[in-house]
Amino acid sequence: MNTVTVTDRIEKTVHLHAPRSRVWRAITDARQFGSWFRVNLEGDFKAGATIRGRILEPGYEHLTMEMLVERIEPEHLFAYRWHPYDVDLKVDYSQEPMTLVEFTLQAQGDETVLTIVESGFDRIPLARRAEAFRMNEGGWTEQARRLERYVSQQS
């Protein structure tokens, strides 16, 4: 796997030992998506539609995930917007900018090259990004809280 990261985007490319049609279903069938992404989505993916589901990831089960489907181009592109890293239930993220996630598929023989790009991070408030510190485990929690206070003063 190859990872490209600048401040505004995360890009990942992975070679999957499965045909493109198989990968496409795993990504765009909401139930299949949910099984590997660990979210219990209710409904189907449709361009322009919002779909929600309970997160099944251990430790995050209290969270609901919301995806605004942007584009579906069969076997090629699946794009949606969401609020990345929704962790603090006390914070209303709904007014914050969303990031755009794009899954792009390319057949390579009977294998598939999948590229994922999540972009738009530069518009996410800095204080929100400091959550990443707080979420880190170990002895850093208090320092992170201080840092978060500092960051929120700054913004």
Interacting residue ranges for another protein, rule: CB under 8 A = 1, 3, 5, 7, 10, 12, 14, 16-18, 22-23, 26-27, 32, 35-38, 84-85, 112, 114, 116, 118, 121-122, 124, 126, 129-133, 135-138, 140, 143-144, 146-147, 150-151, 153-154
Rg (CA), the chain: 17
User: CA–CA separation, 85 vs 147, rounded Å?
Assistant: 18
Q: Which is nearer to another protein, 27 or 69 (CB)?
A: 27
The 10 Å CB-count burial string (b at 16+, else e) for 57-69 is eeeeeebebbbbb
What is the closest distance, in whole angstroms, from the C-beta atom of residue 32 to another protein in the complex? 7
What is the closest distance, in whole angstroms, from the C-beta atom of residue 59 to another protein in the complex? 12
Helix (H, G, I), strand (E, B) or coil at 35: helix
Between helix 30-37 and helix 20-28 the angle, nearest 10°, is: 90
Q: Which is nearer to another protein, 22 or 48 (CB)?
A: 22
